[in-house]
Amino acid sequence: MASFNHHVRAFVLVAVAAISLSASGCSRYGCFDYSEAEYEAFDGCPSQEEAIDFFGSPSCGGEVASVDSGPEYRDGYCCYEITETDYDDYYYDSTTCL
């Protein structure tokens, strides 16, 4: 029972930390699957400029407006600081996106 409470307490602390970081204006991170084989074959994660294509084009409804940092490889994922698309001020025509 003590172990369960410890895990619940740890989860709550992580959730509170995540909320406080996002509320304070810290960067958000976006990640996508990237196997170790891909990482080795392509000599690392895609560059900052190439990464937007892996998240989906913002002109076709992708949730990432920009990739704001270089990559960091974490346990099978390439991760970047990102800016999310603000759809309140954005329109895209889904008929032109494939």
Neighbour tally for 84: CB within 10 Å: 14
Give the pTM: 0.62
What would the mean pLDDT of 16-28 be, rounded to a whole number? 47
Length of the chain: 98
Look at residue 67 and tell me if it is in a domain: yes
Q: What is the pLDDT of residues 54-92, one digit of tens each?
A: 998 777 778 888 999 999 999 999 999 999 887 665 555
Structural tokens at position 73: 């490889």
Residue 14 in any domain: the answer is no
Question: Is 7 contained in some domain?
Answer: no
Give the 3-state DSSP-derived string for 23-50, with helices as H, strands as E and coil as C: HCCCCEEEEEECCHHHHHHCCCCCCHHH
Overall domain count for the chain: 1
- For the chain, give the percent of residues with pLDDT over 90: 44
Does residue 31 lie in a domain region? yes
Q: What residue numbers bound the domain in which 74 lies?
A: 27-96
Residue 20 lies in a domain: no
Query: Which residues lie below 8 Å from residue 86, measured CB to CB, with a gap of 6+?
Result: 65
